[in-house]
Structure 1
Amino acid sequence: MSTSATTSYQPATEFNPIIIDSFKAYDIRGVLGVNLNEDIAYRIGRAFAQILSQRYHASVKAHDNDMATLKPAIVIGSDIRHSSEQLKQATIAGIIDAGIDVIDLGMSGTEEVYFATSHYQALGGIEVTASHNPINYNGLKLVKEHSKPISADDGLAEIQALAESGQFTTKNRSGTLQLLIDKSAYIDHVMTFIDTDKLKPLKLVINSGNGSAGPVVDLLIEKLAQAGAPIEIIKLHHTPDGSFPNGIPNPMIEANRVATQHAVLENKADLGIAFDGDFDRCFMFDEHGEFIDGSYVVGMLAQAFLNKYPNESIVYDPRVIYNTEAVIKEHDGKAVISKSGHSFIKQVMRDSGAVYGGEMSAHHYFRDFFYCDSGMIPWLLTIELLSITSKTLSELVSGYIKAYPSSGELNFRLTTHDAPIIISAIEDKFSSENPTKSMLDGLSLNFGEWRFNLRASNTEPLIRLNIESRGDKELLAIKTQEVQQWLAAQGAVPA
């Protein structure tokens, strides 16, 4: 469906310099009314559009054929939070005042913006979302042409500086606004990742968390039914509701997993699936209701892709690596490690041409999805894998878990020292054991039979610890306790 529309936001006539402290390493995230509001959203939208427009015209003038195919438009969508529509309208007003056309996707998930940015050959895209953050937060996720990420050192700082200064150029024309809420091209593309003829009878519990996932899940269910796939779906917390009556959709919090686990057991389902608010992450539960750590899902999907595409590259992050590297080696793939974070993973994937990339945080990236992350593709691939192998999910991952047990990610708030001091001190503590060291992302020390990664969060005031061993749960427990006690002595409090 396509209609013309107008924005309801009316901007200020003068723009005094301000400080906008909602800019983070990869996106914009802030507390409503404190460091994010409609006026700030307008400034960000206008700055984003102005900078992308300037780059576009400079590239066309320089006969950059890659940029010449683009349209001077920006795609925008928003999640279900009550504040998202108002922030989106303000952002749209800023883009239009910068002379750039806008394609509004309506209520959508982040991956729909990724898809539409490339599908419509737009200059860039914006999703208004705070993902899994508390209800008093919101934010904006930005991408540039071809759905490429924008980070602090690759344009985000420039956008922040212009938004803060308010020194916008005046355009002879205003942009236009078009509402395009038809999801069919996106749904069709997502479905190309699996062969529906291979699907066997399966019962799934899907928990949309009252976020933005519900409408997309419905469309995918419809496609599966049209293909005659024998898939039964039990919907949980399915209706989008910005008040989040069943809690903020964040399956990383153990208490938020209980509803999905109970539904899997009560319905004797083969698989449980849960999403965060903007569904760019996918979380899995096996047939026993057990939550599957994201690092083992990375190994499983790596295997699935290498079975389809031998000798391809797989990208992974350095927090938990033993299982992923073993799977890639066993299936004759090429292991490519990357710093954590979507902008790093996506760039390394583009550089290496990797078919798949995964992070233990439940972000999964796909070459054939413009090197972007998707929360819908992983569960489709998983039901295909369950069907092809005739195995349960627990059977698929139990070998991984036994061979390479891990602590899961442990988070700490620092009360005495900052992260660099802690990381330097723990390196000194273990230096006498001569571990193999990597500083690719925080500090990784590998002792042969066990290893750990300690890094500062890019999005929260936390330090994150992951420990793993080679098949030795007792050693894992001992070392986890040892490192935790040491961190406690340095003033690190479990978060």
Structure 2
Amino acid sequence: MGDLGQIFKAYDIRGVFPDTLDADIARAVGAAFARIVDGDTIVVAHDMRPSSPELAAAFTEGANAQGRDVIMAGLGSTDLLYFASGKFNIPGAMFTASHNPAQYNGIKMCRAGAAPIGVETGLAEIRELVEQGVPAYDGPRGTVTERDLLADYAAHLRKLVDLSGIRTLKVVVDAGNGMGGHTVPAVLGDQLLDALPLEIIPLYFELDGTFPNHPADPMNPANIVDLQAKVRETGADIGLAFDGDADRCFVVDERGEPVPPSAITALVAVQELAQEPGATIIHNLITSRAVPEIVAEHGGVPVRTRVGHSFIKAAMAQTGAIFGGEHSAHYYFRDFWKADTGMLAAMHVLRVLGTDHRPLSEITAEYTRYVASGEINSRVADQAGRMAAVEEAFTGRADVESVDHLDGLTVNLTGKRWFNLRASNTEPLLRLNVEAPDTESMAELRDEVLAIIRA
């Protein structure tokens, strides 16, 4: 089956179809998955990539061969799969490569209740079974039941955030030819449910896994240029951009300017704290310092975690947190089985905007206090050596307030400046994030750290 180490990642399986990920591997993974999860039934969904139906069908065959019944949800977003896993309290598998180019595909898996599966929570076990050969099952073969869950998913989200009473908003949505083109008409439009006071202006809603217009990766500024232009051209109130599997949502304001995910995290946190005063809010350590400040100011308890959805979800389970946010525009909700859903975050933003007379830029300015560098990657031959060199350079300095190693190296300095340096798990890269109160001090600190990394 080739080198499975190429495709088994920290949180999912991802490879090039059919070179490193094909139907045979998907079938074996389906059989292995069926053996490590509890219960008789599994739910499977897939995105719009040309290879997704074939891979999902093969995975289903593998699970059926192990005696497991499969609910085949067909086309769906990743958060629709989490919804199904949570609603039915059964394990699930989603076939998608998210924002990766068209030749890629992958499998995101979860246990019952949308509990994440990663290397330490079952993925290594699945890989071992696939490598050794999954033992045959001598009981009756499982069944397949096709079930369209889109309407149930849409109705559930609308129960969590009521948009029926907001002022009319003009909303440009760029689905990037990804699954947002399938879910947005159902949730925000009138395809399946009553119309909301939203005028949706669609961009690239046609499902096309070859991504003919631009990659479905709104984290890259080049991929939201069309959205920004359409917002300005139409005089829209807000723009939303979804990634390929529509689990992440990026926001631009009425000027076409991007709203930082940290500002969205703070905004949604304030909404959630209004519903449950004193609740815990999770944020990863790259999120703006403004997030824990604002959470505390609104009576909440901010909890800082490592980067990555498995750490966020684990912290939410341990603390009972009501909400969690990441710098990468992943937003997690206790009311959504602690899973991430960009659609629900977008609905919170629409409700805030739709119940306020001010433009979005004015509203979000309250949640944007610092200047961030964004993530800067440096290719290095010796990750540990360069990391140690940076730490040595800052050790003992009078302007250093604290150093920690929760995830890589974080250095907090006087004047509300900080940086985090992390090693990539998959490439010879160091990832730097810097934040400070103004552009000048951010750039000065950024350049100082980069000079050491790249020396």
Contact 1:19 1:164 in 2 (8 A): no
Partners of 2:56 and 2:429 lie apart in 1 by 30
Q: 2:45 aligns with which of 49, 69, 77?
A: 77
Q: Secondary structure at the match of 1:198?
A: coil
Q: Please name the residue that 1:8 is paired with.
A: none
Q: How many angstroms does 1:225 deviate by?
A: 9.8
- 1:35 equivalenced with 2:20 (yes/no): yes
Task: Check conservation: 2:322, 2:333, Cα contact below 8 A.
Answer: yes
Give the AA of the match of 1:452. F
Q: Describe how 1:133-152 pairs up with structure 2 within 5 A.
A: 133-152=100-119
The question of 1:351 aligning with 2:318 is answered yes
Alignment of 1:330-341 (within 5 A): 330-341=297-308
The separation in 1 between residues aligned to 2:284 and 2:242, in whole angstroms, is 21
Residues 306 and 389 from structure 1, CA distance in 2 versus in 1: closer, same or farther, beyond 3 angstroms? Answer: farther
- Pair 99,457 (structure 1): closer, same or farther in 2 beyond 3 Å: same
1:404 equivalent in structure 2:
370
Select the residue among 422, 425, 429 that pairs with 2:386.
422
Task: Give 1:221 shift.
Answer: 2.9
| Cα deviation code 1:62-109 (max 9, x no counterpart) | xxxxxxxxx511111111011111111111111111110111110111
Distance 1:298 1:460, change over 3 A: farther
Counterpart position of 2:402: 436
How many residues matched? 451
Change (3 A) 1:43 1:366: same
Contact 2:163 / 2:347 at 8 angstroms: preserved in 1?
A: no
Pick one of 210, 214, 226 that aligns with 2:177: 210
- Can you list the C-alpha shifts for 1:280-329, whole angstroms capped at 9, x where unaligned? 10100011101122122111111221122211110000013411011111
Q: Partner residue of 1:386?
A: 353
- Deviations, residues 400-426 of structure 1 (Å, cap 9, x unaligned): 33x222112222333x21x22222221
Structure 1 stretch 424-433 or stretch 73-82: which is displaced more? 424-433
CA separation of 1:365 and 1:307: change in aligned 2, threshold 3 A:
same
Q: Secondary structure at the match of 2:107?
A: strand
State the match for 2:439 in structure 1.
Answer: 473
Give how far 1:456 is off: 2.1
Q: What are the ranges of 5 or more consecutive residues in structure 2 without an aligned counterpart?
A: none
Match for 1:282: what amino acid? C
Cα displacement (A) at 1:460:
5.3
The two structures have a TM-score, normalised by structure 1, of 0.88
Q: Distance in 2 between matches of 1:243 and 1:472?
A: 41
Counterpart-to-counterpart distance in 1, 2:387 and 2:158: 44
Correspondence for 1:170? 137
Query: Which residues in structure 2 correspond to 1:162-241 (within 5 Å)?
Result: 162-222=129-189, 229-241=196-208
Aligned pairs for 1:241-280 (under 5 A) are: 241-280=208-247
Q: Given the alignment of the two structures, is residue 110 of structure 1 paired with residue 78 of structure 2, yes or no?
A: yes
Give the match for residue 483 of structure 1: 449
1:213-244 superposed Cα distances (whole Å, 9 cap, x missing partner): 11211112345996563211100011111221
Counterpart AA for 1:431: T
Measured after TM superposition, the shift of residue 130 of structure 1 is 0.4
Instruction: For 1:262, give the aligned amino acid.
Output: A
Contact 2:189 2:200 in 1 (8 A): no
SS at the partner of 1:192? helix
- For structure 1, which segment, 456-465 or 297-306, has the greater mean C-alpha deviation from structure 2 after superposition? 456-465
Shifted more, 19-28 versus 351-360: the winner is: 19-28
| Letter aligned with residue 302 of structure 1 | A
Q: Does the CA-based 8 Å contact 1:196-1:224 persist in structure 2?
A: no
**8 A Cα contact 2:325 2:332, kept in partner:** yes
Which deviations, in whole Å up to 9, do the C-alpha atoms of 1:25-59 show, x marking residues without a partner? 1111112233211111111111010121xxx3xxx
Q: Which residue does 2:29 correspond to in 1?
A: 44
Match of 1:20 in 2: 4
CA RMSD for the aligned pairs? 1.7
SS in 1 for 2:265: helix
- The answer as to whether partners of 1:236 and 1:260 remain within 8 angstroms in 2 is yes
On the 8 A contact 1:406/1:476 being kept in 2, the answer is yes
Q: 1:219 to 1:28 in 2, by over 3 A?
A: same
- Give the unaligned 5+ runs of structure 1: 1-16, 57-70, 490-495
Indicate which of 356, 373, 379 corresponds to 1:413. Answer: 379
Contact 1:358 1:364 in 2 (8 A): yes
Q: TM-score, normalised by structure 2?
A: 0.95
CA distance in 2, matches of 1:182, 1:151: 25
Structure 1 residue 335 displacement after superposition: 0.7
Shift of 1:342: 0.7
Mapped contact 1:320–1:466 kept (Cα < 8 A): no
Q: Which residue of 2 aligns with 1:155?
A: 122
| 8 Å CA contact 2:386, 2:452 repeated in 1 | no
Match of 1:302 among 269, 275, 288: 269
Distance 1:85 1:18, change over 3 A: same
Q: Which residue of 1 aligns with 2:337?
A: 370
Instruction: Give, in whole Å, the separation in 1 of the partners of 2:314 and 2:446.
Output: 32
**Structure 1 counterpart of 2:62, from 94, 113, 127:** 94
CA contact (8 A) 2:389 2:452 kept: no
The one-letter amino acid of 1:301's match is V
The whole-number CA distance in structure 1 between the counterparts of 2:194 and 2:297 is 34
- Once residues 394 and 109 of structure 2 are traced to their aligned partners in structure 1, the CA distance between those partners, rounded to angstroms, is 40
1:267 counterpart letter in structure 2: T
Are 1:320 and 1:468, in contact at CA under 8 Å, matched by a contact in 2? Answer: no
197-206 or 126-135, which moves further after superposition? 197-206
Amino acid at match of 1:432: G
TM-aligned CA deviation for residue 461 of structure 1: 5.0
Distance 1:116 1:311 in 2: 30
| Residues 123-160 of structure 1: CA deviation (Å, up to 9, x unaligned) | x1000000011211111001011110011111110110
